[in-house]
Chain A
Amino acid sequence: MTRRHEVIPSSISQPFWDAVDREELVIQRCAVCRSYQFYPRERCLQCGADDPEWVTVSGQGSIYSVTNVQTGDETYDLALVDLAEGPRMLTRIVGGNRPAETGLDVEVSFETLRTSDRRLPVFKVADVS
């Protein structure tokens, strides 16, 4: 039986979830050394500076790896996506006109899944232009 996992934001991650509710993907970027990091922390992982800023990112990425998960209840594509800005996220590939494959470019979308109690950033395979 699929269980809905509750997302409990912390004070440091609240801006991320507020942005998701606005259908925006935001990632921390250090004000001093400009590196991006995810998941959010109080300090920059690269240089140690306090209070990284939150910036809206492009929503573009590529699939590092994708697996088709087959539980008793449902089937879905779980993936590791590398954002264009650098950080990697664990996410789902949803919808799209072609099957999800490692290496494909993707774009962020925002959906509610059966396994979650709130909307999450997910990714769709980008249309070939």
Chain B
Amino acid sequence: MKNSFIVGVGEIDPKPIPARSALTIAAAVSVGALLDAGMDLRQVDTVLTGYSLVEPVPMFADALAEYLGMEPTMATTINSGGATGAALVRLADATIKAGLSENVLVAWADNRSSGSMTSAMQERLRDFAHAEFELPYGATLPALYALIAQRYLYESGATPEDLAAIAVVLRSHARLNPTALRKEQLTVEDVIRSRVIATPLHREDCCLISDFGGALVISASPHGPNHPAVAVSGTAELHEHEHIHQAQGLLDGLAGRAGLVALESAGLGIDKLDFVQLYDSFTITVALQVEDLGLSGRGQAGADFRAGRYSLGGPLPVNTNGGMLSGYSGGIHHVTEAVLQLQGRAGRRQVADARFGLVTGIGGVMSSHSALVLERSGR
């Protein structure tokens, strides 16, 4: 079975710049990815993008193609919440394997902190709660994840300090990342003392809302003048519910399922992974993923983070760029970071001889799930 290959990557510095639009960020990172791939715009036949929460652009992929002066034969906008990033790569891989595409531009960007419509954007974040049967109760997205966290603590015996340990490790990684938003030292006590959003989640248990932007060029052949190509070895998606009160098995292994299916589709044992980039909307999201992937026992994620199991330099680094908990909203940066790691371009946060990585995306309230197994190609 033919692979698809990531041959170029572009990323934006997430620090907000006034009057920057989602579209201009997307255009900038797209041009960066094409330059990185040593390719011309005209070689791209397919444009796949995510969506903007801030700007009313209903057909984002078409708008980006127009902005860049492209006339693709396929332009699709994916809206899968936080699963969008990995789902975009999955779709690119599928269209290449189906023979529909030769060279795909994947891009996702948004200006969630510098955008002028931030209050409208906050309202749209609330849309993840059911308008008729959840929103009227004052459901907010962090509160819904807090409900999951409370049940997790109840069932597992883990503590809020266990969740805090996750934020602490991820922040230590951010300190090695020149473009991370939050680099100041974080302790468990700092997390527990930060403002309570909804018990047991504090401010530092929650990802930041920032600008973000990432782009990839994905191709049927592993060409590329500068860096090793990264093969898409396995992908998966899973959609079990949309709204939290409709979920059947929130704590029944759901958080790890897409990752396990992606590993199976790649024919790769989880022990072969050199790093994992796990969607980290909240500390609970990470805890459930490492446990449901079978990497930690139930209730043990925090203890394993404390013990250094998931730290850079440890057995299986998690979120090597500091994750969304240290900046980079959306989740596309988990994909771009994975590519940089596999290409040996991760600077001080480089995982030695990284060959295999897992990337996940989770949207809504544990609603949509996507996962990728990426592999360094050649060399």
- Chain A residues in the interface with B (C-beta under 8 A): 2, 5, 7-10, 13, 38-39, 64-71, 74, 76, 78-80, 88-92, 102-103, 113-118, 120, 122
Contact = CB atoms under 8 A, between A and B. Distances in A.
A88 B146 CA distance: 17
Contact of B198 (A64, A70, A91, A117): A70
B138 A115 contact: yes
A39 B131 CA distance: 12
Contacts of A120: 136-137
A90 B134 contact: yes
A113 B136 contact: yes
A113 B138 contact: yes
Most A C-beta atoms less than 10 A away, residue of B131, B143, B144, B201: B143
B199 interface: yes
A74 B199 CA distance: 14
Contacts of A89: 133, 245
Contact of B137 (A10, A64, A103, A115): A115
Interface string B115-156: 000000000000001111111111110011011111100100
B132 A9 contact: yes
B137 A66 contact: no
Nearest to A112: B136
B196 interface: yes
Given A89-B245, A118-B136, A120-B137, 18 more contacts: A2-B138, A5-B131, A39-B130, A67-B198, A67-B199, A67-B201, A69-B138, A70-B198, A71-B140, A74-B138, A78-B139, A80-B147, A90-B139, A90-B144, A115-B135, A116-B136, A117-B136, A120-B136
- Nearest first, the 10 closest Cβ-Cβ pairs linking A and B are A116-B136, A115-B138, A67-B146, A65-B151, A90-B245, A69-B198, A90-B134, A65-B147, A67-B198, A68-B199
Contacts of B244: 80, 90
B169 to A, nearest CB: 24
Contact of A65 (B154, B197, B201): B154
A92 B132 contact: no
Interface of B: 129-140, 143-144, 146-151, 154, 195-201, 243-246
Contacts of B137: 78, 90-92, 113, 115-116, 120, 122
Contact of A102 (B129, B132, B134, B154): B154
Nearest to B196: A70
Contact of A76 (B129, B138, B147, B195): B138
B284 to A, nearest CB: 11
B151 A64 contact: yes
Contacts of B245: 38, 80, 88-90
Contact of A39 (B132, B196, B200): B132
Contacts of A38: 133, 245
B155 to A, nearest CB: 9
Contact of B147 (A71, A74, A79): A79
Contacts of A70: 195-198
Nearest to B140: A69
Contacts of B139: 78, 90
B198 A78 contact: yes
A2 B136 CA distance: 11
B242 to A, nearest CB: 11
B147 A66 contact: yes
20 contacts: A7-B136, A8-B132, A38-B245, A39-B132, A39-B133, A65-B148, A65-B151, A67-B149, A70-B196, A78-B137, A78-B147, A79-B147, A80-B151, A90-B129, A90-B130, A90-B133, A90-B243, A90-B245, A103-B154, A120-B136
Contacts of B144: 90
Nearest to A117: B136
Contact of B150 (A9, A71, A102, A116): A102
A48 B143 CA distance: 33
Given A68-B198, A69-B198, A70-B198, A5 B150 contact: no
Contacts of B199: 67-68
Nearest to B243: A90
Contacts of A79: 147
Contacts of B195: 70
The CB with the most chain A CB atoms within 10 A, among B133, B143, B148, B246, is that of B133
A87 B151 CA distance: 17
Nearest to B195: A70
Contact of B143 (A10, A67, A103): A67
